[in-house]
Amino acid sequence: MASNSLESLLAWMKDTSQMLGWDQIVALDGHKLNLGLQHDHIIRLSQGNDLGVITGSMDIPDTNITHYLSGFRLAAPMLSFQRASLQSAKTALSLAVVGGTQMMVETVQGHKEIHSLTALDPLDGSHVTLDIPLGTNAANVVLDLANSEDVLLTLFRTPTEQREAGKLFKEWFDRLADQKRLHALAALPDQGNPFMFTRSIDVRTQHRNAPAQIPDTVDESGAVILFARSVNGAAGSFPGDNSGFKYLIPDDDAQHSYSATELFSRALIHRAAFGHALLQMLDDADFEHIADEAGSLAKMVARRGGLQVAATDYETSEYRFESDPFSLPTVGGAMPLTIEFDQNQVVQRWQGKASLPFRYRPLGGTTWKSYTVEISTHLLHEFRLWAEESGASGMEGELSTPYTHTQEVTIESGLPSLPAGEVEQIKDFVTNAVKRALLEAFSSTLTTRASEDYLTDVDIVGGSTLQASHVTLPFDQALFGQIHASGASFEIVQQQPLVVAGKRLQLTTEPVRENLRWTLEPLSGGGGETGQINETTGEYRAPAAHAMGGSYLRVLAIATDTGTGERSVTLITVQANPITINPQIQLCYYGQQVELSAGQLDGMPLNWSIKNPVPGESGQLVASDQPGGRTYIAGSKVSNKTYVLDEIEVKDSQGIESASAYVLVLQIEPLITVKPVENPNLPEGQVQLQAYINGNAVNPVWSLPVDGPGSISQAGLYSEDIGTKERFVLINAVADTGEFGKFEGHLILPLPLVDFPTVISALTK
């Protein structure tokens, strides 16, 4: 990895421009932007403006398979820099699947049945990935999910299934309202110094070093780069990926942590400093703007306006002078006020006319003489910025008159015949009054802080702002600093933590604050208990698993400063079970193999086994090429059986926590078909089943091979356990045909029943 120290960056920038013709280049750290997107997501959740619950189905081309997705919730969008490029505005985006149920339904001889069911939660690790151009409008950088391309759902193993699922999510994004679909990533200021305003932005991405091509991961090691053209500037060019253009954010400084860099061209900081000073000091100013061949502002010529000068006094060796307020018009003389901009300096020329009323008396005397003189001015000033050697403020400026030029203020008329010495002292006073008026006006308006003030008004997603901690002028101006969360002067350290049901989590803030009040805010649609938090200490206790409304819940924890009212918020996700295994149930035939995956809250390795294996019937587990998974290989055909049911168990390293999944291995094609019967009169949580042999209804013996959940009557009425955490039920039907022996069939139903009307309706067909 190339050195990316502050010193190496400054050496690269020294004495030469690296702006490539742009007025501004802004680099924003990807990790900090993602924190902002997460904070923005929390705000959207609390306001009901998240992406909502995504449900739908898709047929897989050239197969008899339909996938049903139900209750999918997505986490915050996260920028990923695997394919970062300085030549493209596209970037990769990843949205973790927080929860949902996926079922693979296969149609066999016109009959639909569930072949696998996966219940996703935050531990499952599935993502929706996509490419998206970072859009801009004037001074804003926007993520619009409707512009998504190549949307994929990583849950699936085949590219075709991933793409078909992606189409479903893309259609969902396209239908969303603006407040749900759009994410304002950054906004450059449109108030304050008008010379700093942005006309357009082009966005690129850059990786900190060579990206590691690890699939299904979020690579935050990069930056979003804004190439900005100011209202008075020209567009530049883009560096090539192998052009030697450095990664702009220092990342190996042991003393300071940087997450943002902003570069301003020399031409821009000169325009911004001098041009804005003029607009502030003049009344009713209007200028003609003249651009050079590239489109940058080269000259401003006054069309109207004036400098209002307050009453002043002045003493010479013999007289005391006082003037009434007067005005120096920008037009009307031999040359209107004209400002010429160059990369390294600003030149002001002004040949004007004015009326100056004044009075004077001898020192010690009491008799005043009053006159109004008509004057003409021939003024020339130069303004330059350069690096400040002490390093205290980064740069300093100088307003001067070229030593080759004599500034003239000439009295054209208004004086009677007076002694020559008296006239000379009047000329001294008039010249002093004009020059002092200009210098006093510039002293209160001319500043080198235009860029630093501008930086504090840059808005970053999630309410974050920029703050410069190192300002310098190696050639163009460079500001290195941090992206800070705004809205509060403190932040909860534990951002979006995961916690197991019944466990405790200590929340803290950075910096540590006294007088905080901690509260919880449940999110709509969660159900069940949300846990408790100590109002004083910030210790959160998750609810017990049985008290939760599902396999996971999300709740907002809020720290409020009782003195200032400032708040910081984090999103807590509680897992009913610290281990997740998927698919929770799936079918295969003898001799086939299927994949399973599992995740644990602490990320430690899990122990896999087949629980209570039956010799000669059960399959085996082998290593998988999928991370965090195992491959199940079904055993050889077992005679005189329709099914072999294996329970796959995963345990933590201590053997305390566990989770199970099931593989139903078909030995022969089941001869009984089981279907739900449409019956709108049944109460919620019940479904009537009917078994068929060759299309003829039969009355089998019903059973639940995995001991529930719920119960089934011998009339085929299934009743679920309200509040169960299980996401499926396996139902078995056995009919004794006498002469032909016993026939078997099965049905997998998703739970809770009320959440899957579309799937259950499809199974009735």
Q: How many whole angstroms separate alpha carbon 154 and alpha carbon 218?
A: 13
Cβ partners under 8 Å of residue 615, min gap 6: none
Residue 1 domain flag:
no
Domain boundary among 601, 635, 666: 666
Domain boundary among 504, 536, 571: 571
Identify the band that residue 254 occupies on the pLDDT scale cut at 50, 70 and 90. low
Domain boundary among 383, 415, 445: 445
Identify the band that residue 242 occupies on the pLDDT scale cut at 50, 70 and 90. confident
Nearest Cα residue to 205 out of 185, 179, 230, 234 = 185
What's the pLDDT at 255? 73
What's the pLDDT at 11? 94
What's the pLDDT at 708? 84
Residue 226 domain flag:
yes
Please check whether residues 662 and 678 belong to one and the same domain.
no
Q: What is the CATH number of the domain that holds 683?
A: 2.60.40
Please check whether residues 279 and 156 belong to one and the same domain.
no
Identify the band that residue 524 occupies on the pLDDT scale cut at 50, 70 and 90. low
Q: What is the CATH number of the domain that holds 587?
A: 2.60.40.10
What's the pLDDT at 389? 65
Please check whether residues 34 and 180 belong to one and the same domain.
yes
Residue 82 domain flag:
yes
pLDDT in tens, 411-438: 999 999 999 999 999 999 999 999 999 9
What's the pLDDT at 312? 92
Please check whether residues 430 and 477 belong to one and the same domain.
no
Residue 414 domain flag:
yes
Cβ partners under 8 Å of residue 513, min gap 6: 490, 559, 561
pLDDT in tens, 607-665: 999 999 999 999 999 999 888 899 999 999 999 999 999 999 999 988 889 999 999 99
Q: How many whole angstroms separate alpha carbon 538 and alpha carbon 515?
A: 11
Rg (CA), the chain: 37
Residue 324 domain flag:
yes
Residue 562 domain flag:
yes
Mean pLDDT of 588-598: 96
- Domain range for 709 is 673-764
Identify the band that residue 602 occupies on the pLDDT scale cut at 50, 70 and 90. confident
Please check whether residues 349 and 438 belong to one and the same domain.
yes
pLDDT in tens, 34-43: 999 999 999 8
Please check whether residues 151 and 13 belong to one and the same domain.
yes
Please check whether residues 419 and 553 belong to one and the same domain.
no
**Chain Cα centroid distance, residue 640:** 59
Please check whether residues 70 and 108 belong to one and the same domain.
yes
Mean pLDDT of 671-680: 93
| 658-666 and 585-589 beta bridge pairing | parallel
Identify the band that residue 390 occupies on the pLDDT scale cut at 50, 70 and 90. low
Please check whether residues 192 and 278 belong to one and the same domain.
no
Q: How many whole angstroms separate alpha carbon 303 and alpha carbon 653?
A: 81
User: Does residue 572 have a pLDDT over 90?
Assistant: yes
Burial bucket for residue 301 (CB in 10 Å: 0-12, 13-18, 19+): middle
Please check whether residues 561 and 647 belong to one and the same domain.
no
Burial bucket for residue 372 (CB in 10 Å: 0-12, 13-18, 19+): middle
Cβ partners under 8 Å of residue 687, min gap 6: 676, 677, 679, 717, 718, 749, 753, 760
In a 3-state reduction of DSSP, which class is residue 450?
Answer: helix
pLDDT in tens, 479-506: 999 998 766 788 899 988 999 999 999 9
Residue 642 domain flag:
yes
Residue 531 domain flag:
yes
Nearest Cα residue to 358 out of 317, 322, 411, 409 = 322
User: Does residue 217 have a pLDDT over 80?
Assistant: no
Mean pLDDT of 389-411: 78
Lowest mean pLDDT among 23-27, 104-108, 463-467, 535-539: 463-467
Please check whether residues 409 and 340 belong to one and the same domain.
yes
In a 3-state reduction of DSSP, which class is residue 134?
Answer: coil
Q: How many whole angstroms separate alpha carbon 236 and alpha carbon 238?
A: 7
pTM for the model:
0.90
**Residue 62: which H helix or E strand, with range?**
none
Lowest mean pLDDT among 143-147, 167-171, 524-528: 524-528
Q: Quick one: what percent of the chain has pLDDT higher than 70?
A: 97
Inter-residue contact 185 to 457 (CB < 8 Å):
no
Q: Quick one: what percent of the chain has pLDDT higher than 90?
A: 80
Mean pLDDT of 52-59: 95
Q: How many C-beta neighbours within 10 Å does residue 725 have?
A: 18
Q: How many whole angstroms separate alpha carbon 311 and alpha carbon 325?
A: 4
What's the pLDDT at 177? 95
User: Does residue 512 have a pLDDT over 60?
Assistant: yes
pLDDT in tens, 549-567: 788 889 999 999 999 998 8
What total of structural domains would you count in the chain?
Answer: 5
Local structure of residue 528 (DSSP, 8 states): B
Question: E strands of 188-325, at which residues?
Answer: 198-207, 222-230, 260-264, 283-291, 297-309, 312-315, 319-323
What's the pLDDT at 525? 60
pLDDT in tens, 443-484: 999 999 899 999 989 999 998 989 999 999 999 999 999 998
Q: How many whole angstroms separate alpha carbon 280 and alpha carbon 273?
A: 11
Quickly tell me which residue has 């690790």 as its tokens: 125
User: Does residue 1 have a pLDDT over 60?
Assistant: no
Q: How many C-beta neighbours within 10 Å does residue 475 have?
A: 20
Please check whether residues 293 and 171 belong to one and the same domain.
no
